[in-house]
Amino acid sequence: MTKLLASSALSLATLAALGHTAHADGGGGGVANSVGVGVEVQLSGLGGISANYDAGAFHAGGFFGFSDPTGPGNTAFDVGGRFYYHVHHTASADFSLGASIGIGSQDTAGNSATSVFLEPGFQIRWFAASNVALSFTGGFSIGLDDNKDFLIDGQLTGIAGIHYYFTK
């Protein structure tokens, strides 16, 4: 684990030291009309592989996660989407306000549970290179579980993600 963290930090430092020419086309740290792929997790813990569309003034995207460990009846499925409006930006970063919604379904030994989470909050994206964004999300989670339980999570929580944007 220490080697993984050290190599990740070294890679990030190398990208930052190489210098970059991030674009601010249309109001964000990224390039307008670009698509990014990567991974992202909601505050609730739902997440998976992810795709984002950067329109310049905002970015929107979604995620898909699936797991089926060995053994019967233990499948988990996550799907969700998000929208963030860019409130402020610099050449290599943007600060956005918005929300995400996620649906998680889990089957454990024949007992299934479906959860829905609405998560208003903020997101900061930092472009380590013109097409690589690290994102940091904060906010709160409002959850419903099989229409039985209601949750407003008051814990101070933050989540990180990474996306590679395909630009022209």
pLDDT at 69 over 90: no
1: in domain: no
Sign of the dihedral defined by the CA atoms of residues 159, 26, 34, 15, in that order: negative
Count of beta carbons in the 10 Å neighbourhood of residue 130: 18
7: in domain: no
Which residue range is the domain that position 119 belongs to? Answer: 20-166
The model's pLDDT over 71-119, given as tens digits with 9 standing for 90+, comes to 777 899 999 999 999 999 998 999 999 999 999 998 887 788 899 999 9
| Domain total in the chain | 1
- Identify the H or E element spanning 72: none
114: in domain: yes
Three-state secondary-structure class, residue 14: helix
Which of these ranges, 38-52, 85-99, 136-150, has the smallest mean pLDDT?
136-150
The model's pLDDT over 5-43, given as tens digits with 9 standing for 90+, comes to 333 333 333 333 333 333 334 445 788 999 999 999 988
Nearest C-alpha neighbor of 146 from the set 98, 89, 93, 103: 103
- Residue-level length of the chain: 168
13: in domain: no
CATH number of the domain at 144, please.
Answer: 2.40.160.20
119: in domain: yes
